[in-house]
Structure 1
């Protein structure tokens, strides 16, 4: 049976609503795979170093190649999705990711590893923007916050699979076999997506690449859109710095425990992220008329929770207290993104939401990357001035250093208050229309 006949046979059997959810499931699965790819180096590093006779520098190259490919493709991702539609872009994305996974598994040297991971990242960079565009086009505005929150959770599922399950599989079958399997799953999902995703109707898509670029330039001239980028960048940089860079070392220092034991608060943080994405995603749909106020309040609450992690308070109230604070922070962090995405849709409209998401992500990546060296220097400097950082290594950061970290995170949170204020007037205009 020809492919067109298969589509014709499938169409009467699947209701439009069911097909929308099937299409979402295909792209959400691709996003889970992308998230797994992003954080997988931690689970394959030892085997990887043994196979290539390399050290931590080789593993750093493995991670950095993905980071650069993913970051550099963010703006093109939005433009491509808004110009060519979800199906075309997401199928190319899945193909690149699967091809890169297979090439990574078969790579004979570090140069080929770098190229393979770069290909994976360029494909994966297109997935979340495509998923967001699909949600915006397939579901009513009243469902957008909820569905975007659930879409986030699909990524967290991939992140969970990249930890203990992937590590166990690598031990049993080897890292190369695991990535061949990941490539096969990607190919199977590609075939499924080609059936359930609807092509972009030619009559409904008069945009050219030039018109999208012009619309993008016009969007970036609006102050409200920069306010949206500021809000997301502030949230992302603060949360990533705390939960992805310094959270475990800070808890380990506070209570003089091992990093493994100190990871419990961060585990509750990730669980909170998943719950918050769904719950506050639903609240975003109900608070559509007051998104700016909701974002300001949630930023102030996040700042209060971060301040509650100051060393004197943490020492006095103990490990359980810190765990509870991190879990509530997770709820807040997971719920912030659906609120920002709701604003993004209102400001850019469904036609250019891909560009909006890409602008936000790029701004977040730049702020997070630029701030890390500054934070590190401030922490070591504060510890040395306090006389608690005379040693080298992880112990070179003391209570004063972590107090400096908290202070900087609070300063980095301020754009999260200014951003919604810049969006307010435009959000009100969109709501009236």
Structure 2
């Protein structure tokens, strides 16, 4: 197989493999507190709201960096931005490995968020410039689901390594991996095939070659992207579908399952791993369906993914006493579908924006999911404090139920805005 420009196929796949492995590491960095939240609370003597701050500010930085990262990608390409992202994550993990206070740990997680923000958009950029344009949806789905393996690494091997050694050694090792992948990216990744002096997107069916650049006026580019209802539809699609899984795996899922629902550590790891595996299985299916029904995918794929999560979580929160294990697995399945469903948002952004706004529209879209996630993490922490469950020894099932119930308004807001923006988009397209 050859690249879209005739370069050897091995180079295309080597670049993609390095980029995807880097994305897996970024997910490990992002979710590295997922199975050690209780350890973090004890290490830094943090209550629920302060513990939420570790994840919230990380996600705030991640979300706020999306548009700047998109514009930097348009100017410098994927390779240098991805290298910088790896270095920032390594510095952040090294800082948290030795952090003596919560304040330093919060700053360290902000560095992790800044570095993490650079990786996924960079991988999307490499897909756009190295693979045929018509293969983009499938490659994006594959990238997203493979990247989620990083959650399993954070949930099982990293947590086990921490408990077998020490906090400093575990997070220091993750920092070392960041340095390694910064070097690999620098050595092996290239922005685009050498025949071109700019990033281009190529459709091998039509022969069309388009240079991928942002508008010269940043404000105009952002306004133009947001003004299109298709971009706003993509934003709300990404807002509504993945935030529960993000809040679950970034911080609150493991404490909820072990301290609230009474699951063993092994059972909690199995539930969390199921979430990831369901995403891997359902991702390609949703990717193919999204490509086949582009005008119906909001109601056919995105909305059902949201409703399924609401129903599953509603059953857990209303169950008398601790929920049975099968119901916890059902919740994991529902959230596992939400992750791949969120990737449809990038198809929507790409379909409704010209190539010169691709990175800007992608950045706006990506902000949606992480804005919802940081709100969910923050609301859960605040609710736990209000319920008198500030520290691990005070966690109760009732407190967790009220805390996780704060996700329902976010889903309702997302559904309402999805319906509104879908109607506006279809009207603009002449479909209504």
Q: TM-score, normalised by structure 2?
A: 0.75
Corresponding residue of 1:214: 220
Larger radius of gyration: 1
Counting only pairs closer than 5 Å after superposition, residues 234-383 of structure 1 correspond to structure 2 as 234-237=240-243, 240=246, 257-258=262-263, 260=265, 261=267, 265-285=271-291, 287=292, 290-302=293-305, 303-304=307-308, 306-307=310-311, 310-311=314-315, 319=324, 322=327, 325-326=330-331, 328-330=333-335, 332-370=337-375
Please say if residues 230 and 352 of structure 2, whose CA atoms lie closer than 8 Å, have aligned partners that are also in contact: yes
Name the one with the larger helix percent. Answer: 1
What are structure 1's unaligned runs of at least 5 residues? 1-13, 384-391
Quick one: structure 1 residues 104 and 422, their matched pair in 2 at CA, closer, same or farther if it must change by over 3 Å? same
Does the 8 Å contact 1:275/1:334 carry over to 2? no
Give yes or no for contact 1:232–1:340 (8 Å, CA) kept in 2.
yes
Counterpart CA distance in 1 for 2:217 and 2:41 is: 47
Q: 1:321 to 1:424 in 2, by over 3 A?
A: farther
Q: In 2, Cα distance between the equivalents of 1:234 and 1:16?
A: 40
Alpha-carbon distance, 1:127 to partner? 0.8
Task: Map 1:413-424 to 2 at 5 A.
Answer: 413-424=415-426
Secondary structure of the residue that 1:125 maps to in structure 2?
A: helix
- For 1:41, what is the secondary structure of its paired residue? coil
C-alpha displacement at 1:55, in angstroms?
Answer: 0.6
Paired residues of 1:81 and 1:354 also in contact (CA < 8 A)? yes
Q: Of residues 161, 175, 183 in structure 2, which corresponds to 1:191?
A: 183
Q: Give the CA RMSD over aligned residues.
A: 4.2
| Alpha carbons of structure 1 residues 48 and 267: separation in structure 2 relative to 1, 3 Å | closer
Q: Which residue of 1 aligns with 2:231?
A: 225
Contact 1:237 1:365 in 2 (8 A): yes
Count of matched residue pairs = 401
Deviations 1:306-352 (A, max 9, x none): 3365449967xx84763564355245323312322211212224443
1:147 positional shift:
1.2
- Provide, for residues 126-168 of structure 1, a one-character-per-residue CA deviation record: whole Å limited to 9, x for no partner: 1111111221222223322221112112331111111220122
In the alignment, is the contact (CA less than 8 A) between 2:27 and 2:150 conserved in 1?
A: yes
> Equivalents in 1 of 2:241, 2:212: separation in Å?
36
Contact 1:292–1:420 (8 Å) recurs in 2: no
**What is the CA distance between 1:125 and its match in structure 2?**
0.9
Q: Residues 56 and 374 of structure 2 are in contact (CA less than 8 Å); yes or no, is this contact kept in structure 1?
A: no
Instruction: Give, in angstroms, the shift of residue 378 of structure 1.
Output: 9.8
Query: Residues 415 and 41 of structure 1: is their aligned pair in 2 closer, same or farther, counting only changes over 3 Å?
Result: same
Structure-1 separation of matches of 2:383 and 2:101:
38
Q: Please give the alpha-carbon distance, in whole angstroms, between the structure 2 residues aligned to 1:250 and 1:279.
A: 30
Q: Hey, what's the Cα distance between the residues in 2 that align with 1:224 and 1:263?
A: 38
Range moving further from structure 2, 59-68 or 33-42: 59-68
For 2:45, the equivalent position in structure 1 comes to: 55
- Counterpart of 1:146 (choices 138, 144, 167) is 138
In structure 2, relative to structure 1, the CA distance for the partners of 1:221 and 1:157 (3 Å cut) is same
| Contact 1:147–1:281 (CA under 8 A) maintained in structure 2 | no
Q: Residue 161 of structure 1 is aligned with which of 153, 165, 174?
A: 153
Name the CA distance, whole Å, in 2 between partners of 1:343 and 1:415. Answer: 15
Question: Do the aligned residues in 1 keep the contact of 2:32 with 2:250 (CA within 8 Å)?
Answer: no
Change (3 A) 1:83 1:253: same
